[in-house]
Structure 1
Amino acid sequence: MKFIFANNYCYLRGGSERVFYDEISMLRGFGHEIALFSRHFNKNIHSEYSEYFASDIEYQNVSLIKKISAGAKLIYSYECRKKFDELLKLFNPNIIHAHNIYGRLTTSIIDAAKERQIPVVMTLHDLKLICPSYLMLLNGEICESCKGGKFYHCTVKRCHKGSLLQSLIYTIESYFNSLFGKYDWISYFVCPSNFLMKKHIEAGIPEKKLIYIANFIKTKIFEPNYSGGKYILFVGRLSREKGIMTLLNATKDLKIPVWIVGDGPMRAECEGFVKKNKIVNVVFKGYKSGNELEDLFRNCAFLVFPSQCYENAPMSILEAFAYGKPVIGSNIGGIPEMVIENQTGVLFNSGDHIHLKEKIEQLLNNPSLVIQMGKQARRKVEEEYNEEIHYQKLMSIYKKIL
């Protein structure tokens, strides 16, 4: 079969791009032909079809007029539609598989596919269809005000980065796509967690179009290490919704080192907090990738995932499991589907640093339990999150729509 995979970015920007590229690699491994479509960006990985990519959008550090012009392109891009149609004509795919397309590629590419009667499948990585600002989060707290198509709350509350203009653009985008039925042509929405599927059903997305297919990980390339590590690991963006302050407050009196891997808007604030409170066990490692990141996972005691927002199906949890490491996770979003209490890790109340500290001490005082849970975590990804299951489920929905 021939597929076009579409995503806003063509480089490993985050977990959603990891899923995007892993699916492409998987399908190619089974003999399918894949073309990529995106916008040009200076970090993009080379693609043989990049000449068909739409141009990049400049909306940072530009004049107000240019921001408004760029904003219109973020809502609906005629250039993307034209470029995508050219690729459709050249490649003649059986199916389009879209990942993150809103806000850059836009639903214009769905219109191009519909015009040529090519079916579309879309993987949902967040809550964008329900919440214009993706996260259902306001000032660090869960917010569901926009459910039921009440997107105006995004502008009224300046949900996106506190910016009136950006929030207005996202609000208009959501109303535009909803009122004109821009997602109607999509045959199936792939939900990587049952939690995400439930939220979209609650919001009125037709249940018959929603299908749960978990993310997968290539366990064969991960060598597990069940021996107890000498440090606690956090891997993620340093931002409030990721629960970084909850982690710092929970671990400031512990004797075991806490290694913080990642970067983000709160790094300076976090470093200032550590310095002010004379916390000596926390080390900021910065952004890591490749072999360095692999070693950090493999040699830790366990991973802490303290998110305070509706997480979908975090790939870093699957990575920890693949290395034989249990996870302490917050009981929010799709995390409890992965972190099973006293089996693959333990859960704590989101945002509660005292409860998190109790859970950390529980594992530190039970090294044999950590090893046991690490082995169960590895078994879970081998049995439930493997490439073969993912491929079979994807092919099942592909065949239904042809």
Structure 2
Amino acid sequence: MDILILNNTGWGLGGGVEEYSRILADINLELGNRIIKASLNRTRRTYEDLVLYARTEKHIVNIFDNYLEKSLSKVCLRFKIDLIHANITDAYNGYPIFKVSRKLKIPLVFTIHGWNYLCPIGWKIMLPEFKVCKKIAPHPHCAICVASLKKHESRSPIEIPLKITRIPYVSYIYRKLLQDADCVISPSKTFTLELYRELGVKAQYIPNPVNPALLRDALEPRVESIRKDEEQIVLFIGRLVHEKGVLFLPEIARRLNPKAELHVAGTGPLEEKLMRYRMPNMILHGLLFGEEKKNLLKRASVVIVPSVCREMLPYVILEAFVHRKPVVAFDVEGGQKELIEMTGSGLLAKPFDIQDFADKVNYLLQNPDEVENMTRNVHKVLLKEFTIDNYKEKLARIYNNVVS
């Protein structure tokens, strides 16, 4: 089977979508499929076999832009594609993919990587109240959320009104994509239920697999890192953007134990602001890959995920569990809560209460025996629920169903 695997972020980057796309490609090779890897992003350096250059302007005209549609059609015809597997987090790129799959009668499988399919800002959190949103987009409150978020990012006085006017169009496109795709894969139980409640779409719940190399690390003898008289490293890994709770980091650092350090690994638009407001016990590493990232995870005492959005399946939590590190996150319905409750390897703080969050981190730092008990069985869960073999079996079944 010839399969076109698409994402809109690039293949050479270190985020969850990129990691999933690489694992997906490896799984398909193991299944005996021929794969064509492609990215729809021209603004970042990538290392894929094929790059599709799509216009990057985010305006409504892109939905009807024939350039991407023609490029995709040429690729599908040239390589005689039997199935398209898309990992797209952008409605403007998703719609041309859908049109091509229907025009050429090629089955389309979508893997969901964010709540933006159900929410214009992708958080599924109501702003400025910071409450879990149960409304169905497009809803009048969506405009308030967009305005609340974008007022901190807007570079033009007309940007916010434009984004608000696009809400009905974007919501329609996402709904169309999900309802008409041949199969939708969701790595989150919470999202799967919400998707059915809001759109009536029955997604296949399959948690994303862990990189086999990381699972091999899980079987290595553990090097103890939490001791009251040793270094206490609290680690944040992720994009430096609003939804990841980056602006909470200085306040969390200020409330940590005197011996504790908050290490931040990642880059993004808020990096400069974080540098400006960082506390003395904060260390910013920038973007880390490979052994550097792995070594920092091994040294860490606690991994924090202070996201103010509802996550899908944060890959950093799986990486933390591989190294048997406890995780602290806010108690918000979504992937972060699912993973912590599934494994018992972490604590959930009151939603967006920084003091309670810091208290949970300090508790773990001061109670290494509790951490040992908490993370004792995490590898069993990983090896049962998040292996390549499990995912490969379910994916092969999906492919056979949609192609036949």
TM-score range, shorter chain: 0.7 to 0.9
SS in 1 for 2:76: helix
2:142 partner amino acid: H
Greater alpha carbon shift after TM alignment, 18-27 vs 372-381: 372-381
2:321 partner amino acid: F
Quote the offset at 1:160 in angstroms.
6.1
Cα 1:177–1:155, aligned 2, differ >3 Å: closer, same or farther?
farther
Whether 2:350 is the aligned partner of 1:349: answer: yes
Whether 2:55 is the aligned partner of 1:57: answer: yes
TM-score, scaled relative to structure 1: 0.85
Give distance in 2, aligned partners of 1:309 and 1:388.
Answer: 30
Greater alpha carbon shift after TM alignment, 188-197 vs 217-226: 217-226
Given that 1:325 and 1:373 are in contact with CA atoms closer than 8 Å, whether structure 2 keeps it comes out as no
What is the number of equivalent residue pairs in this alignment?
382
Given that 1:160 and 1:167 are in contact with CA atoms closer than 8 Å, whether structure 2 keeps it comes out as no
> What does residue 95 of structure 2 align with?
107
Whether 2:69 is the aligned partner of 1:81: answer: yes
> What does residue 318 of structure 2 align with?
318
Give distance in 2, aligned partners of 1:85 and 1:139.
Answer: 42
SS in 1 for 2:119: coil
Give distance in 1, aligned partners of 2:342 and 2:74.
Answer: 50
Give distance in 2, aligned partners of 1:25 and 1:140.
Answer: 42
Alignment partner of 1:126 out of 84, 96, 114: 114
SS in 2 for 1:340: helix
Quote the offset at 1:106 in angstroms.
3.2
Quote the offset at 1:313 in angstroms.
0.5
Give distance in 2, aligned partners of 1:297 and 1:232.
Answer: 10
Give distance in 1, aligned partners of 2:311 and 2:94.
Answer: 23
Give distance in 2, aligned partners of 1:341 and 1:85.
Answer: 42
> What does residue 93 of structure 1 align with?
81
Residues 218-258 of structure 1 deviation map (CA, whole Å, 9 limit, x = unaligned) = 24445243412431111122333322344432342412122
Give distance in 2, aligned partners of 1:156 and 1:248.
Answer: 24
Alignment partner of 1:223 out of 217, 222, 232: 217
Give distance in 1, aligned partners of 2:162 and 2:22.
Answer: 29
SS in 1 for 2:250: helix
1:144 partner amino acid: C
Give distance in 1, aligned partners of 2:10 and 2:252.
Answer: 37
Cα 1:118–1:343, aligned 2, differ >3 Å: closer, same or farther?
same
Give distance in 2, aligned partners of 1:305 and 1:40.
Answer: 27
Give distance in 2, aligned partners of 1:158 and 1:166.
Answer: 10
Aligned pairs for 1:371-382 within 5 A = 371-382=372-383
Given that 1:110 and 1:183 are in contact with CA atoms closer than 8 Å, whether structure 2 keeps it comes out as no
> What does residue 66 of structure 1 align with?
none
Give distance in 2, aligned partners of 1:21 and 1:296.
Answer: 23
The runs of at least 4 aligned residues of structure 1 exceeding 6 Å deviation read none
Given that 1:148 and 1:204 are in contact with CA atoms closer than 8 Å, whether structure 2 keeps it comes out as no
Given that 2:60 and 2:166 are in contact with CA atoms closer than 8 Å, whether structure 1 keeps it comes out as no
Alignment partner of 1:154 out of 143, 154, 158: 143
Give distance in 2, aligned partners of 1:169 and 1:21.
Answer: 36
Percentage identity across aligned positions?
21
Aligned pairs for 1:277-296 within 5 A = 279-296=279-296
> What does residue 155 of structure 2 align with?
none
Cα 1:155–1:232, aligned 2, differ >3 Å: closer, same or farther?
closer
Residues 269-325 of structure 1 deviation map (CA, whole Å, 9 limit, x = unaligned) = 434434xxxx43222222222221111111111211111211110000011111222
> What does residue 173 of structure 1 align with?
169
Cα 1:117–1:262, aligned 2, differ >3 Å: closer, same or farther?
same
Quote the offset at 1:124 in angstroms.
0.9
> What does residue 156 of structure 2 align with?
none
Cα 1:171–1:267, aligned 2, differ >3 Å: closer, same or farther?
same
Given that 1:5 and 1:34 are in contact with CA atoms closer than 8 Å, whether structure 2 keeps it comes out as yes
> What does residue 27 of structure 1 align with?
28
Q: Which runs of 5+ in 2 are unaligned?
A: 152-158
Give distance in 2, aligned partners of 1:39 and 1:135.
Answer: 23
Cα 1:109–1:240, aligned 2, differ >3 Å: closer, same or farther?
closer
Quote the offset at 1:352 in angstroms.
1.2
Cα 1:159–1:345, aligned 2, differ >3 Å: closer, same or farther?
same
Aligned pairs for 1:193-232 within 5 A = 193-207=188-202, 210-221=203-214, 222-224=216-218, 225-229=222-226, 230=231, 231-232=233-234
Give distance in 2, aligned partners of 1:140 and 1:226.
Answer: 42
SS in 1 for 2:217: coil
Cα 1:183–1:361, aligned 2, differ >3 Å: closer, same or farther?
closer
Give distance in 2, aligned partners of 1:212 and 1:342.
Answer: 18
Quote the offset at 1:185 in angstroms.
3.1
Given that 1:348 and 1:359 are in contact with CA atoms closer than 8 Å, whether structure 2 keeps it comes out as yes
Residues 119-175 of structure 1 deviation map (CA, whole Å, 9 limit, x = unaligned) = 111011112222223223435824638615437833885366233255146425325
Cα 1:143–1:73, aligned 2, differ >3 Å: closer, same or farther?
farther
Given that 1:140 and 1:240 are in contact with CA atoms closer than 8 Å, whether structure 2 keeps it comes out as no
> What does residue 338 of structure 2 align with?
337
TM-score, scaled relative to structure 2: 0.85
Quote the offset at 1:191 in angstroms.
0.8
Aligned pairs for 1:229-244 within 5 A = 229=226, 230=231, 231-244=233-246
Aligned pairs for 1:356-395 within 5 A = 356-395=357-396
Quote the offset at 1:399 in angstroms.
1.7
> What does residue 63 of structure 1 align with?
none
Q: Which runs of 5+ in 1 are unaligned?
A: 60-69
Superposition CA RMSD, Å: 2.7
> What does residue 7 of structure 1 align with?
7
SS in 2 for 1:158: helix
SS in 1 for 2:147: coil
Give distance in 2, aligned partners of 1:129 and 1:97.
Answer: 17
> What does residue 187 of structure 2 align with?
192
Cα 1:31–1:342, aligned 2, differ >3 Å: closer, same or farther?
closer
